[in-house]
Chains A and B, each alone.
Chain A
Amino acid sequence: MAAMHCKDFWLFSSEWLEGDRNPAAIAHLAGCPACRALITDLESIRNSAHLLLEEEPPARIWPAIKSQLEKEGLIRQPKKSFLERLFPATAFRPALAGAYLSFLIIAAAALGFHMNSVHSAEQQSLWLANAQDAITPVATELGSAERKTLPALQAPGNDITATLNHNLAIVDNMISLCEKGVRQDPQNEMMRDYLYSAYQQKADLLAAAADSEGR
């Protein structure tokens, strides 16, 4: 049985929360306080998310878009997954900037918040490696989402396209500065907070671009 590392475990965490108990994951969790803390946090979020189950899905917000997405087969909901229950507002949005991306950002932030309870140099080093591992897929997903949204962002000039592009430039600039700041001072909690906010803003912006009819 191959040993599981933090990065592998983190990718497996969604399945873990769904009840999948891979022996390698169990072994890793037993010896890794950082991943145990992450799982505790995610379970806490999941437990709070049960409150959201009573909510009517927000299909009523964009009935026309929902209908169109259903026609195109982009919405699949025979069985709601944990992520869909956790992020009902994004469930009907195009997958590119939906639940998975939000999950990545929240998980990255959750890793970040553990920094305050990590004291030894070894633990800090481990934490930094984990945090960087967590941020990498977020950046990758955002890049992929941006490529998919490119047609909307390159639509013939109108005020919507102009607004989206202008704000994308703002967010990209913010991400760039915050990433630089985090690299220079990885323990800077506020800088990390700004970075996660910027990622979330970019995800929201790309979702808005995909949703926009003004193109």
Chain B
Amino acid sequence: MQLQLNGSLACSEFSKRSWRLAGSCAALLLFASPVLAHHLEKQFTVQSHPLITLHNPSGKVIISSWDKPTVMVVADHNSPKVEVDAEQVGNRVDVVTHLIADDISPDELRANYVITVPEDSELQIHSDSGTVSISKILGDMSLETVAAGIEAEDVGGYVVVQTVGGGFQCMRCTGRIEIHSISGDIRLVDDHSSYIFAQTSTGSILLDGDFLANGVYRLKNYSGPINVSFSPTDSFDVDATSFYGKVDNQAKLVPARRPNRRIPSFARGLFGSFNQGRAKLELSSFNGIINIHKRD
């Protein structure tokens, strides 16, 4: 009897717990459902060298390649005050986050994208804040952000980057690279590029890649450090000047000539050739430190 009573009680308790669990699950689904409500998934068949444009005020953007002649766009957002849209015009796919209300908070602006494209695609990306990640794209690309950081890996085309405060990192990049930023840090690692121009005002610049014969590498900033790494077999002419900072050099340079331009007497300058001087390295800082160090 006791056992039976206990069994009834246990059964009743189990039933209560089940209802509570079911209630919790229902509540969870209810609250979770808006996330799933704003989901876009579209595919477009394209020719070779398609152009993909993206305009997104805020959010995470991931772009990578595959071996299909197809562009796939997957987008998610929480707020009903924005709308994501993707459409094809010829060999171009335009992806846009539209604002459909006036009073939108920064959180409500957010839309996240995962875009998969053919390897030879060209990209034109504008994203104000969030992050932009790009990998294994060989076409040219133009990337503009305000605060969003950009990470690129294994890209091969002509890359033009403009940010206000967002950083930029390029790993194993092989095409021409131009970067303009105001306070973003710039990291160029394991690149194999014949032309790099990087400019930031207060951000730092790191160049740790190959110096190609006849390659030109121009790094310029205002107050952050400029760090360049080299190997004993590298070959470059270097022209480094810091107005009010200093130049710390570990490369044994053969003094070649004075620079063509006039520099003030108080500025720290360094000019000369390392090995045969096949590449050209121009480093300029207003009051930051320039480090030219041997690669570890």
Contact = CB atoms under 8 A, between A and B. Distances in A.
A62 B222 CA distance: 30
A63 B202 CA distance: 32
Nearest to B89: A60
Contact of A60 (B94, B165, B261): B94
A163 B53 contact: no
A163 B146 CA distance: 7
A184 B109 CA distance: 47
Interface string A186-207: 0111110010011001001100
Contacts of B258: none
Interface string B55-69: 101100000000000
B142 A61 contact: yes
B117 interface: no
Given A159-B147, A164-B146, A185 B264 contact: yes
A166 B183 contact: yes
B222 A174 contact: yes
Interface residues of B, number: 41
Contact of A167 (B53, B92, B109, B164): B164
A160 B286 contact: no
A159 B284 CA distance: 30
Interface string A49-67: 0000000001011111100
A170 interface: yes
Nearest to B87: A63
Interface stretch (B41-49, B121-129, B150-158, B185-193): B121-129
Contact of B261 (A171, A174, A190): A190
Given A60-B124, A212-B57, 19 more contacts: A61-B124, A61-B144, A63-B96, A64-B55, A65-B55, A116-B262, A158-B105, A160-B58, A163-B147, A170-B222, A174-B201, A174-B286, A190-B284, A198-B201, A204-B162, A212-B146, A213-B57, A213-B99, A214-B146
Task: List 7 tightest A-B contacts by C-beta distance, closest first.
Answer: A158-B106, A163-B147, A163-B165, A213-B57, A167-B182, A214-B128, A61-B124
18 contacts: A58-B124, A60-B94, A63-B96, A65-B55, A116-B261, A158-B106, A166-B165, A166-B183, A167-B165, A167-B182, A170-B183, A171-B182, A174-B222, A185-B264, A204-B162, A208-B144, A214-B106, A214-B146
